Amino acid sequence: MPSGPTVDLHPISLRSARSVLGGGVLLPGRIRWHPEYPMLETMMGLSVLIQAHRASGWDESRVPCWWMYQLVVAGESGSRLVVGDVGFHSPPSAAGVGTPAADPVVEIGYDVVPSMRGRGIATAACVGIVERAWRAGAAAVRADTDSDNARSRRVLAKVGFLPQPDGSYLLERPA
Ligand SMILES: CC(C)(COP(=O)(O)OP(=O)(O)OC[C@H]1O[C@@H](n2cnc3c(N)ncnc32)[C@H](O)[C@@H]1OP(=O)(O)O)[C@@H](O)C(=O)NCCC(=O)NCCS
């Protein structure tokens, strides 16, 4: 397991989700945001996830199991700072790559604000979301990343994902 910075995963609030559902923006919570946050990827990722949950009958009064999390690290003078996101793209599908159809596969995505990259934050986030996936019953975690996205591919390799023939990356639940 790679060692690195402490990165806490904080679920995006229902208040924010409701704002995005209504066509609005992500709302600030109690923890300070990095000046480069939220990113376009934050809003796009949350919108796609919300639509997927709505399509599968989400009870909108609760944060769903397969959700999106803000990445929180230590800031200056004991403060805490949101510097990115990690999350699932949707509830699990049974049509995973290389796994039996009965075994749920979840896809993940992540992003870190540009000036905080290269410090191990995405790697720690990836470890954290994979642990959540196993706890929630996933059989495998999948990630799709562009072939020229060397940073993201390196993150996935560090966490133990293996490249698949279709270009995606897959990590199977340990026995
Ligand atoms: C991909 C991304 C999340 C990585 O975040 P990060 O916090 O910088 O990642 P980490 O610091 O944990 O790891 C990055 C690794 O890539 C390596 N790296 C950096 N530039 C690289 C390059 N040009 N080629 C190969 N490896 C590179 C780093 O050295 C590090 O590996 P190491 O720990 O072995 O040295 C970040 O670049 C990002 O937000 N990109 C835009 C969104 C995106 O592409 N998301 C992924 C889509 S699924």
Residues in contact with ligand 1 by the CB-under-6-Å rule are 41, 109-112, 117-123, 143, 145, 149-152, 154-155
Q: Whose CA is nearest to atom 15 of ligand 1?
A: 151
- CA dist 75 and 166 (Å) reads 39
Q: Which of 145, 123, 132 is nearest to 173 (CA)?
A: 132
Predicted pLDDT at 167: 93
Predicted pLDDT at 93: 73
Q: Which of 55, 119, 59, 125 is nearest to 90 (CA)?
A: 55
* Structural contact between residues 109 and 89, judged by C-beta atoms closer than 8 angstroms: yes
Average pLDDT over residues 31-37: 96
Query: Quick one: CA torsion of 13, 16, 21, 22, rounded to 10 degrees?
Result: 150
Q: Whose CA is nearest to atom 10 of ligand 1?
A: 120
pLDDT tens profile 65-113: 999 999 999 988 888 999 999 999 998 875 544 444 467 899 999 999 9
Q: Is the pLDDT of residue 129 over 60?
A: yes
Q: What are phi and psi of 67, to 5 degrees?
A: -125, -170
Q: Which CATH class is domain 8-172?
A: alpha beta
The helix (run of H) or strand (run of E) holding residue 52 is helix 40-55
Task: State which of 154, 156, 159 you would mutate to test the pocket of ligand 1, scoring each by most atoms of that ligand within 8 A of its C-beta.
Answer: 154
Q: Whose CA is nearest to atom 30 of ligand 1?
A: 118
Predicted pLDDT at 94: 55
User: What residue type is 38 in one-letter code?
Assistant: P
The domain locations on the chain are 8-172
- CA dist 71 and 11 (Å) reads 9
CA–centroid distance, residue 119 to ligand 1 (Å): 9
Atom of ligand 1 nearest to the CA of 121: 7
Q: Whose CA is nearest to atom 24 of ligand 1?
A: 150
pLDDT-above-90 percentage for the chain = 77
> What are the Cα distances from residue 158, in Å, to 8, 95, 106, 108?
19, 25, 19, 15
CA–centroid distance, residue 143 to ligand 1 (Å): 14
pLDDT-above-70 percentage for the chain = 94
